[in-house]
Structure 1
Amino acid sequence: MTEETFATLGVAEKQALLERLAITLERNARWAADEGDDGLETVMASVGKALSSVASDLAVNDPELAKDVVTRALALMTTFHALHPDYPVGPAFQS
């Protein structure tokens, strides 16, 4: 997702994306912990928890900060996948 794409989303879609990123960060943090990567686990869990608690506020009141948070969360997930290439990647959304 590009910054321009994120900017075109409505408030509800921005909030949903931020919440999904938070869930993904927390899930990946558990995997990192299981793999003994305590540093990455701590960072990802902290960011995921913080993001889940402010997703609505960011989506409504600070879209520029929300865009920056998305960019940084994606960079964190890229780092995770680079360090843990065996992580089973599946569908982003499951019902």
Structure 2
Amino acid sequence: MNETTVQPAVEEPEQIGTMIAEIQKNSRERLRITVGQYKGHEFVGIRVWFVGTDGQYWPSRSGVTLRPTLLPQLMQGLQLAARAADPQGAR
């Protein structure tokens, strides 16, 4: 009689909050933008997720968690960075 070992399905870790957007950074990494609540406080999270050896995406240590009130300043900074990186607006 042959014994068969059943492996539990590997699932991605549960993320905190609701995913709002996902941006493919490269073939092995994605940026995930989430909104959620922790200990009664609202937050916005931006984190790099990477492909693990199991083929699933896992959160890395690279990321930032912000209060929603800081989003206008972040967006302004990103617009300035975009203009500095491409001053002619060709991209």
Q: Could you say which structure has the larger radius of gyration?
A: 2
Ranked by relative contact order (alpha carbons within 8 Å, sequence separation 6 or more), the top structure is: 1
Common fold by TM > 0.5: no
Looking at secondary structure, tell me which structure has more strand per residue.
2
TM-score, normalization by structure 2: 0.28
TM-score, normalization by structure 1: 0.27
